[in-house]
Amino acid sequence: MSQEELQETISQIRDTVFKVCEEFSGEYWREKDRERKYPTEFVTRLTELGLLASLIPEEYGGSGLPITVGSETLKAIHEFGGNAAACHAQMYTMGTVLRHGSEEQKKKYLPQIASGDLRLQAFGVTEPTAGTDTTSITTMAVKDGDKYIVNGQKIWTSRAEHSDLMVLLARTTPKDEVKKKSDGLSVFLIDMRDALKNGMTINPIRTMLNHATTEVFFDNVPIPADSLIGEEGKGFKYILSGMNAERILIAAECVGDARWFIKKASDYASEREVFGRPIGRNQGIQFPIARAFAQTEAAEAVLDKACRLYESGDTSGTYANMAKLLTSEASWAAADTCMQTFGGFAVAEEYDVERKFREARLYQIAPISTNLILSYLAERELGLPRSY
């Protein structure tokens, strides 16, 4: 795709997203947030328009577009006040199947994921006792003839109640029986509709934001042996290979959030008059907004580079991680500035600032926390000793 074609595609997608977002105004998001309800109608609209299938190759029914386009799609949703966290995983979780699945698995699942007939937006990695230390997970999948039997618990498995399939990371060999702690972990693509009838339980977790996140329990859950993706014991590598895409796409959402806050703050600062003049005339109000703007533009430039590297086949996580770090800090700076600009009105539900403020804070914690990105950079880029 030439640069011109890419720009044309991005501009068409932004127009489409904008139209969808106009159908789903602030009141729609406020109501979902208040009741912690899933934005099914919004996700259905995006699915119908094929916007969540952009990264699936054309041969499997998707549009085969580069990650820059996926990133611009999610960015636009956030820029216009929506929240793509409800469905961003439908865009990238399939990457595990695409990169490491067999041809049979790809043919079976990808076209249905592309059409939206199958929802693959649950990603079961994190566990309560292991936390960030993924190799310490204890959920076990034990081979038994033509099945595996799964036992264990996942936490923060987002959208599990709104997904048909789940990419699950489990141990197939206990940690104390492997040479390298990252060995003995395997990835499965499980059909949750069957698992729910056979010992899997999903409990929603109420959180400070509307994120449809859950804990999932596996009690002797049988799954077919052909749910295994790639080679048994090599799952950690497969999971890592999907993380750059996830970080890039979430970084794009952070840029969208930052832009939403900056616009909201600038508009309000120009309109709101106190002491007989707009508050935006005070440099104490305008400078933080200008700083957030500069910070966002800089972070977006790093994100653009991360996209280009990803598209060129570069598998190093440096730029994807830096993009996630910098954009999440920029969106948080913009969120805080917007809050301060709105004064008391910031905490009133009707302006959406407090809702977006809660949503924006998440991205310094998930899908990876800021500290772990800094550790990665310190170790990989600067040659500093590993801290864990």
Ligand X SMILES: Cc1cc2nc3c(=O)[nH]c(=O)nc-3n(C[C@H](O)[C@H](O)[C@H](O)COP(=O)(O)OP(=O)(O)OC[C@H]3O[C@@H](n4cnc5c(N)ncnc54)[C@H](O)[C@@H]3O)c2cc1C
Q: Is 254 in the site for ligand X (CB under 6 A)?
A: no
How crowded is the C-beta side of 245, counted as CA atoms within 13 Å? 25
Q: Is 134 in the site for ligand X (CB under 6 A)?
A: no
Cα→Cα distances 205→43, 124, 159, 195, 208, Å: 21, 15, 11, 20, 10
Which residue's CB is nearer to ligand X, number 204 or number 343?
A: 204
> C-beta of 320: minimal distance to ligand X in Å?
15
Residue the block writes with tokens 């693509």: 189
Residue with the closest Cβ to ligand X? 131
CA atoms of 352 and 261, how far apart (whole Å): 10
Query: How many of the chain's residues bind ligand X (CB under 6 A)?
Result: 23
> C-beta of 362: minimal distance to ligand X in Å?
6
Binding mask 220-239 for ligand X (x = CB under 6 A): --------------------
Binding mask 177-216 for ligand X (x = CB under 6 A): ------------------------------x---x-x---
11 alpha-carbon distance from chain centroid? 23
Out of 131, 174, 224, 343, the only residue in the binding site for ligand X (CB under 6 A) is: 131
Q: Output 297-303 pairs: Cβ under 8 A, ≥24 positions apart.
A: 298/326, 298/330, 299/251, 299/254, 299/255, 299/258, 299/323, 299/326, 299/327, 299/329, 299/330, 300/255, 300/327, 302/326, 302/327, 303/71, 303/248, 303/251, 303/252, 303/255, 303/327
Q: Is 245 in the site for ligand X (CB under 6 A)?
A: no
Q: Is 80 in the site for ligand X (CB under 6 A)?
A: no
Q: Is 371 in the site for ligand X (CB under 6 A)?
A: yes
Angle in degrees, 0-180, between the axes of helices 318-342 and 353-361, rounded to the nearest 10: 150
Residue 126 identity: T
Q: Is 375 in the site for ligand X (CB under 6 A)?
A: yes
Q: Is 156 in the site for ligand X (CB under 6 A)?
A: yes
CA atoms of 99 and 97, how far apart (whole Å): 6
Q: Is 135 in the site for ligand X (CB under 6 A)?
A: no
CA atoms of 269 and 292, how far apart (whole Å): 14
CA atoms of 156 and 135, how far apart (whole Å): 17
Q: Is 317 in the site for ligand X (CB under 6 A)?
A: no
Which residue's CB is nearer to ligand X, number 6 or number 372?
A: 372
CA atoms of 38 and 246, how far apart (whole Å): 21
Binders of ligand X in range 32-61 (CB under 6 A) = none
Out of 195, 228, 322, 368, the only residue in the binding site for ligand X (CB under 6 A) is: 368
Q: What DSSP line would sit under 106-141, residue for residue?
A: HHHHHHHHHHTSS-EEEEE---TTTTT-GGG---EE
C-alpha angle 152-155-156 in degrees, rounded to nearest 5:
155
Q: Is 377 in the site for ligand X (CB under 6 A)?
A: no
Which residue's CB is nearer to ligand X, number 191 or number 379?
A: 379
Q: Is 158 in the site for ligand X (CB under 6 A)?
A: yes
> C-beta of 381: minimal distance to ligand X in Å?
16
Q: Is 114 in the site for ligand X (CB under 6 A)?
A: no
| Interacting span for ligand X (CB under 6 A) from 67-75, 98-106, 121-129, 273-281 | 121-129
> C-beta of 95: minimal distance to ligand X in Å?
14
List residues near ligand X by CB under 6 A.
123-126, 131-132, 156-158, 207, 211, 213, 362, 365-369, 371-372, 375, 387-388
